[in-house]
Amino acid sequence: MKAIVCNEFGPLSDLEYKDLPDPEAGPGQVLIKVEACGVNYPDGLLVQGKYQVRPDRPFIPGSEVAGEIVALGEGVTDREVGQRVVGYAGQTGYASMAAIPAASTFLLPEGADAAEACALIIAYGTSHHALKQRAQLKPGETLVVFGAAGATGVAAVQIGKIMGATVIAVVSSEEKGKIAKECGADHVIGYDGLKDKVKELTGGKGADVCYDVVGGEAFDAASRFMARNGRLLVIGFASGDIPKFPVNLALVKEYAVVGVFWGNFTRAEPQVYAENMRELLDWFGSRTVKPIVAGRFPLKDAAEVLETVLGRGGVGKFALIPEGV
């Protein structure tokens, strides 16, 4: 098979595109002929040694794959050869073949696009968990989404609307604003004067929920525009700046700062995670949620694609396509 290999933590340009033996489906696993691999912001951090997790080297980065099952491992009874699935691959995703636990796979609706499906695992999975379990978002509440044209931001806007919220999308350009509006955002604003804009749009009340993948100055603004009983969701730090939180604001304004770590959730509450994925796939099948694929690129171009993702240069989801698909 063809694969992208990280031999040692370092620059993205050090990633190697090479031939490796095809994996075999071990006990409880399925072997997937990969049609698309999802690209995520943490992938770029991981290969540079800047992420919370530091896997043994060498390893294959990438956590999302979609494709056709071509072999079953011992003990797998709920999957069949020929079924198309999407699944969480751990650190084996950027490859033309992937052996992953059958329990980490989900059946795709008929005719589903593989690149779109990859977005459902981490981007939509994170946003769904954040808004449903962590924020417990209620109909009629106001949701502010930072990075609203990125993969997770698009998901948060769409899911927020499904859950009945008024969505304020925050973006860094006019082009990204158009994307957020097309995804259903009620209001689109930029980062300048963020606190005052949110206050104005909410009649002075502030945001009930803020979905923050940016950190830095955006988080600082959010810490001052939250409504009483609000939930400020800490998702990530795409700005590169991990902010310091003035806890007195939580005291005097009576809101909560809530951490969201999708990977921990999937391990701690696998049954709830599976229920979430079934709901997402139902929405996906009915096109109630519509992932945006920013680009489909050859697997060999993984380093360049990761550079774009880390530079926040994309709108929606990026996917890598193995040769011959």
If asked whether residues 130 and 38 sit together in one domain, one would say: no
Residue 185: per-residue pLDDT: 98
* Residue 278: pLDDT band with limits 50, 70, 90: very high
Q: What percent of the chain has pLDDT over 70?
A: 99
* Residue 32, in any domain of the structure: yes
- pLDDT tens for 108-134 read 999 999 999 999 999 999 999 999 999
If asked whether residues 129 and 253 sit together in one domain, one would say: yes
| Buried/exposed code over 88-118 (b: 16+ C-beta within 10 A; e: otherwise) | bbbbbbbbbbbbbbbbbbbbbeeebbbbbbb
If asked whether residues 151 and 240 sit together in one domain, one would say: yes
If asked whether residues 142 and 113 sit together in one domain, one would say: no
Number of structural domains (the chain) is 2
Q: Is the pLDDT of residue 312 over 90?
A: no
* Residue 52: pLDDT band with limits 50, 70, 90: confident
Which helix H or strand E contains 8, and what residues bound it? Answer: none
**Cα 125 from chain centre:** 7
Average model confidence (pLDDT) across the chain:
95
Distance in angstroms between the alpha carbons of the first and the last residue of the chain: 13
If asked whether residues 134 and 38 sit together in one domain, one would say: no
Residue 78: per-residue pLDDT: 95
* Residue 269, in any domain of the structure: no
Q: At what angle do helices 151-162 and 174-182 cross, to 10 degrees?
A: 40
Q: What is the mean pLDDT of residues 5-17?
A: 97
For 2, the 3-state DSSP assignment is: strand
Q: The CATH number of the domain where 162 resides is what?
A: 3.40.50.720
For 169, the 3-state DSSP assignment is: strand
Residue 2: per-residue pLDDT: 97
From 214, 247, 263, give the residue that closes a domain: 263
Residue 324: per-residue pLDDT: 84
Residue with tokens 């920013």: 294
Q: What is the mean pLDDT of residues 276-296?
A: 95
Residue 311: per-residue pLDDT: 84
Q: Is the pLDDT of residue 158 over 80?
A: yes
Residue 240: per-residue pLDDT: 84
Residue 325: per-residue pLDDT: 81
Q: The CATH number of the domain where 33 resides is what?
A: 3.90.180.10
> Looking at this protein, which amino acid is placed at residue 119?
A
Residue 41: per-residue pLDDT: 87
Give residue 140's domain range: 123-263
* Residue 147: pLDDT band with limits 50, 70, 90: very high
* Residue 61: pLDDT band with limits 50, 70, 90: very high
Q: What percent of the chain has pLDDT over 90?
A: 91
Backbone angles phi, psi at 211, to 5 degrees: -100, 105
Q: Is the pLDDT of residue 265 over 90?
A: yes
If asked whether residues 107 and 162 sit together in one domain, one would say: no
- pLDDT tens for 195-253 read 999 999 999 999 999 999 999 999 999 999 999 999 999 999 988 899 999 999 999 99
* Residue 278, in any domain of the structure: no
- The pairing of strands 226-234 and 256-259 is parallel
pTM above 0.85, yes or no: yes
| d(C-alpha 193, C-alpha 198), whole Å | 9
* Residue 286: pLDDT band with limits 50, 70, 90: very high
